[in-house]
A and B are shown apart, each in its own frame.
Chain A
């Protein structure tokens, strides 16, 4: 299989402009600026069936198409580099190894939607990448790829890197916008959607790092080519973050529709220490857990995973072996969501705290049958009723785990005071 987005990952110094140019860099940008209209760019991306790689999987071309062309307001492109979904570490690879690829994608996206200013909102913990990206942008600016009159075509676009302050919720696109505006990171009411009322009240597109990094490839080789790499509804390849109890964890570029089993056993080298598989979280902490049996037949694509009651998410596959205590892994997830809940709406704020407390009691050995029912009830009461998807994610991390791995939970009902909660 040909590696595309990760092709430059192994080339030494591909983060430097000259090396990037040697390996085909900024050709797509030149093509776009000299040969294509913004409409043609959007059309090409639509044809590619590229879907957002941040988690929600919204078709990118369609998102770009929503930006009103006749609005007199400035438009903005925001690159969501707040990679915080537990288990996800693919955007980091792009920003570390092929940052110019991201910059090129951002510039093409900006051109397509008519933006002259783009932001990279990067998670605070990636401070070293912020510095790197700023260097890279400077380098690109000196090369005439960023700033005024790019490549002499009259197109202006600057890029500003802005760090978050460590809140998971700021990866949600509207909370991100609030944070970028200098406010508290609360998700906004939708509608209006950012495409019409976004950053500073202006039309805004927010795309994930990987999504934007795919764009130059689509421009150079065509939307149809990209579409054919994947499945009918979802084009191309994805970067999968494989972690957990596998022999070779890491970032793998594989097509959409790729069997989960192959990723774990062929690419990941199977389960560590010859153990058996117990469970897989296929799309980051927000996606419901799969049993080994379910994982057997799962393919990494939006619709098939949805049919299994879970989701593609950010492509973060977390593998758990037979020794894993699902109570403790679930506790770890719900503690994360309780910590990261922004507190705006009742069910998420109160529900996550409540669940954490039940888990802590379970782990102390004070649990009853009723608590397990309560966890399911609480996740039902949260799911689909919160202000933003964080609450759904928290509910999804708990409800299915209790249902599918009830035996793990029941062990705690009889163990009294055995394990102290950490």
Chain B
């Protein structure tokens, strides 16, 4: 229970929660106390000394960022003494700081600029020479200008606390102090998330992609949802002259607060790529040649009709990408099932998550669920710092701020998760057995043998769950088949009146869950099927060769007709008969559904060049060419309305609601009755087939395993290609 105390600030009485930092109390009361080194939810530093205030009966001025509010405290934040002290501090900070604001990349959005304007002296009093230090590159993504640094240590703290990378520190003493990276030569070896750049109040840390390319007042920001992992961070895309120039999240209150990962921050410039397909392409004499929309649509429509007539509608398979918006996926599903009439409608995925959702007995856990309140967090498999960075951020937050208990079950030790976590090191591939232990206590001996955990350790794990009052289970892609059903059933097994259980599948793509929800749930055709009973492929934003390998190369070569909607001429596009130029996530409106089942907005940030069209418009045109007028309305906003009427769980979701709430939770029906015998039979069969002799893995997965992975979109980001040495030819090792 919060205890409220009476305090007096500048002669007025207020009540404030006892023990809060005075600075935060002032901020909430609308009494502005200037500060640099204070940052919300980061350890207080008392380094910049800007927030000095006078507290009655204390001899020296006190830093408001470190003083905790007590009953009867009498505070002065605004007196000649305080104003003088602030002016003195600004003088000190500006002493060796370059005063070439017009030349500085931070000009116009610099906290020191604001502070000097409001609290500084009219005339500089520093008459000495400044000590110049050259700027240099800390990493391919991050630059440091040490002379501009005011040593607020925000960057070091976000690296320690938000990211868990501990990649930044201080070198040198006194006025020679300098922020420095963790490598021997002072540069950085880290995940390059750029959160340090984001929190830098001055122009000391800058991003290689954005520095000196734009001014804050000549860019336009659009808030949208990231197009990489399934966590669904909110980001601001800054656009200048029709080009994306940066992505950032500062001062936002989306599900990710101010956090972004490497991909979210630096992975968006594929949108600007000159390699984008800009007009429809038709294969003539083996080569893709530019064609008009009418010609291309006419060709696609007539070939689809012919193939339907000759081989039946079931000979056409439609595949969508889990990166597409719900609206596009919704239309694609209708197109496949209603216009073409084929059951072969599915999406390309790294993992089949259907069993989990078929057996879901607990609500999905949001990032906020992880971060709020003290709870027990059980991570089975997965590697959140690499594949779900926001989840990793939230796990660190939960442990740090709430003292939540984090239990990690993994075949390998994971990096960048809190030291306080408990680690259960299991044999690779034995995750299903572990789920068996969680459902069936009588099988601990068997599970111990398979997982290489002792019966006592398994008992300890079960006890941890028994002791928990609020349990979140995070499920990695190592859990599959019946084990995934078992994971879905954890709610039925563990939830009680005093224990809440929530589940979070660590899905891979920004709209993995949306693709399932929108009905792209058919089976994926096997490569052998193609050319056999599957004659034509309709591919929307997918590259099966890249995802599934060379077997698809031959399969595509056997197909009679292949249509691709794409941003780039992928390897798969090279086998296509028609390539239709699509718009990227930055150029359209729509929604994504993240792994927590939250629907968030995708907003058009810029005009797409060329003759590109949104995927749903293309689908409608093809249908029309085939003589079918699709029952699809003419805007993404209206489509969401239709979709919300027809897709279970999406009832009533509108743009207005998303705009107001940020993320809107879908209502997922939970399985009420689990037939335990059947489930355990299936799970036992899966467990019986596991290899019990695999060697234990002791090395953690390397830094960048997921984050530095090459992909269809990210390889077209010049900075990424440069940083990771990706050349024009596509690598085959990074699927």
- Tell me the A residues contacting B by CB distance below 8 Å: 167, 184, 189, 338-347, 349-354, 357-358, 361, 371, 374, 377, 380-382, 384-387
Q: Nearest-CB distance from B99 to chain A (Å)?
A: 14
Identify B47's interface contact among A344, A357, A377, CB under 8 A: A344
Between-chain CB contacts (< 8 Å), 11 pairs: A184-B170, A341-B174, A343-B176, A346-B92, A346-B93, A346-B150, A349-B177, A353-B174, A353-B175, A357-B128, A385-B88
Closest 3 CB pairs of A and B: A381-B88, A343-B177, A357-B128
Instruction: Provide the B73-115 mask, 1 if CB < 8 A to any CB of A, else 0.
Output: 0000000000011001101110110000000000000000000
Rounded to whole angstroms, the CA-CA distance of A189 and B61 in the bound complex is 15
Are B173 and A341 in contact, CB atoms less than 8 angstroms apart?
yes
Rounded to whole angstroms, the CA-CA distance of A346 and B129 in the bound complex is 18
Q: Say yes or no for B548: interface residue by CB 8 A criterion.
A: no
Q: Which residues of B contact A361 (CB under 8 A)?
A: 127-128
Rounded to whole angstroms, the CA-CA distance of A381 and B174 in the bound complex is 17
Q: Which residues of B contact A339 (CB under 8 A)?
A: 173-174
Q: Which residues of B contact A377 (CB under 8 A)?
A: 88, 125
Are A353 and B60 in contact, CB atoms less than 8 angstroms apart?
no
Q: Which residues of A contact B46 (CB under 8 A)?
A: 189, 345, 387
Are A354 and B95 in contact, CB atoms less than 8 angstroms apart?
yes
Are B173 and A353 in contact, CB atoms less than 8 angstroms apart?
no
Q: Which residues of A contact B172 (CB under 8 A)?
A: 343
Q: A189-B44, A346-B150 are in contact. Are A338 and B175 (CB under 8 A)?
A: yes
Are B66 and A189 in contact, CB atoms less than 8 angstroms apart?
yes
Q: A357-B128, A387-B46 are in contact. Are A343 and B150 (CB under 8 A)?
A: no
Which chain B residue shows the least CB distance to A391? B49
Are B96 and A385 in contact, CB atoms less than 8 angstroms apart?
no
Q: Say yes or no for B168: interface residue by CB 8 A criterion.
A: no
Identify B92's interface contact among A351, A371, A374, CB under 8 A: A351
Are A387 and B92 in contact, CB atoms less than 8 angstroms apart?
no
Q: Is the interface of A mostly helix, strand, loop or mixed?
A: helix
Q: Nearest-CB distance from A387 to chain B (Å)?
A: 6
Q: Which residues of A contact B169 (CB under 8 A)?
A: 184
Which chain B residue shows the least CB distance to A370? B127
Are B175 and A343 in contact, CB atoms less than 8 angstroms apart?
yes
Q: A354-B128, A384-B61 are in contact. Are A349 and B151 (CB under 8 A)?
A: yes
Instruction: Provide the B228-267 mask, 1 if CB < 8 A to any CB of A, else 0.
Output: 0000000000000000000000000000000000000000
Are B93 and A342 in contact, CB atoms less than 8 angstroms apart?
no
Are B96 and A353 in contact, CB atoms less than 8 angstroms apart?
yes
Identify A374's interface contact among B49, B84, B125, CB under 8 A: B125
Are B151 and A343 in contact, CB atoms less than 8 angstroms apart?
yes
Residues of B within 8 A of A (CB-CB), count = 35
Which chain A residue shows the least CB distance to B97? A350
Rounded to whole angstroms, the CA-CA distance of A276 and B61 in the bound complex is 40
Q: Which residues of A contact B345 (CB under 8 A)?
A: none
Rounded to whole angstroms, the CA-CA distance of A344 and B85 in the bound complex is 18
Are A346 and B175 in contact, CB atoms less than 8 angstroms apart?
no
Q: Say yes or no for B48: interface residue by CB 8 A criterion.
A: yes
Q: Which residues of B contact A352 (CB under 8 A)?
A: 174-175
Q: Which residues of A contact B66 (CB under 8 A)?
A: 189
Q: Say yes or no for B136: interface residue by CB 8 A criterion.
A: no
Known A346-B93, A385-B89; 13 more pairs at CB < 8 Å: A167-B173, A339-B173, A343-B151, A343-B177, A344-B151, A345-B46, A345-B47, A346-B48, A346-B50, A347-B49, A354-B92, A354-B128, A387-B49
Q: Nearest-CB distance from B49 to chain A (Å)?
A: 5
Q: Which residues of A contact B60 (CB under 8 A)?
A: 384-385
Are A381 and B177 in contact, CB atoms less than 8 angstroms apart?
no
Which chain A residue shows the least CB distance to B43? A189
Q: Say yes or no for B724: interface residue by CB 8 A criterion.
A: no
Q: Which residues of A contact B316 (CB under 8 A)?
A: none
Q: Say yes or no for B296: interface residue by CB 8 A criterion.
A: no
Q: Nearest-CB distance from A355 to chain B (Å)?
A: 10
Rounded to whole angstroms, the CA-CA distance of A377 and B150 in the bound complex is 21
Q: Which residues of A contact B92 (CB under 8 A)?
A: 346-347, 349-351, 354, 381
Q: Say yes or no for B14: interface residue by CB 8 A criterion.
A: no
Q: Say yes or no for B167: interface residue by CB 8 A criterion.
A: no
Q: Nearest-CB distance from B132 to chain A (Å)?
A: 14
Q: Which residues of B contact A340 (CB under 8 A)?
A: 173-174
Q: Which residues of A contact B52 (CB under 8 A)?
A: 385
Q: Say yes or no for B212: interface residue by CB 8 A criterion.
A: no
Are B174 and A342 in contact, CB atoms less than 8 angstroms apart?
yes
Are B47 and A385 in contact, CB atoms less than 8 angstroms apart?
no
Which chain B residue shows the least CB distance to A386? B49
Rounded to whole angstroms, the CA-CA distance of A380 and B91 in the bound complex is 13
Rounded to whole angstroms, the CA-CA distance of A339 and B173 in the bound complex is 8
Are A387 and B47 in contact, CB atoms less than 8 angstroms apart?
yes
Are B93 and A358 in contact, CB atoms less than 8 angstroms apart?
no
Rounded to whole angstroms, the CA-CA distance of A324 and B702 in the bound complex is 64
Q: A189-B46, A357-B129, A381-B88 are in contact. Are A342 and B173 (CB under 8 A)?
A: yes
Q: Which residues of A contact B95 (CB under 8 A)?
A: 350, 353-354
Q: Say yes or no for B126: interface residue by CB 8 A criterion.
A: yes
Q: Which of A340, A347, A351 has the most CB of B within 10 A?
A: A347
Q: Which of B118-150 contact A (CB under 8 A)?
A: 125-129, 150
Rounded to whole angstroms, the CA-CA distance of A189 and B176 in the bound complex is 22
Q: A339-B174, A343-B176, A352-B174 are in contact. Are A381 and B48 (CB under 8 A)?
A: no
Q: Which residues of B contact A350 (CB under 8 A)?
A: 92-93, 95-96, 175
Rounded to whole angstroms, the CA-CA distance of A352 and B176 in the bound complex is 12
Rounded to whole angstroms, the CA-CA distance of A346 and B49 in the bound complex is 7
Are A345 and B174 in contact, CB atoms less than 8 angstroms apart?
no
Rounded to whole angstroms, the CA-CA distance of A350 and B170 in the bound complex is 16
Q: Which residues of B contact A189 (CB under 8 A)?
A: 44, 46, 66
Are B170 and A343 in contact, CB atoms less than 8 angstroms apart?
yes
Which chain A residue shows the least CB distance to B91? A381
Q: Which residues of A contact B96 (CB under 8 A)?
A: 350, 353
Q: Nearest-CB distance from A201 to chain B (Å)?
A: 13
Identify A349's interface contact among B50, B85, B125, B175, CB under 8 A: B175
Rounded to whole angstroms, the CA-CA distance of A305 and B96 in the bound complex is 36
Q: Which of B375-390 contact A (CB under 8 A)?
A: none
Rounded to whole angstroms, the CA-CA distance of A339 and B172 in the bound complex is 11
Q: A189-B44, A354-B92 are in contact. Are A385 and B49 (CB under 8 A)?
A: yes
Which chain A residue shows the least CB distance to B170? A184
Rounded to whole angstroms, the CA-CA distance of A385 and B176 in the bound complex is 21
Are A345 and B175 in contact, CB atoms less than 8 angstroms apart?
no
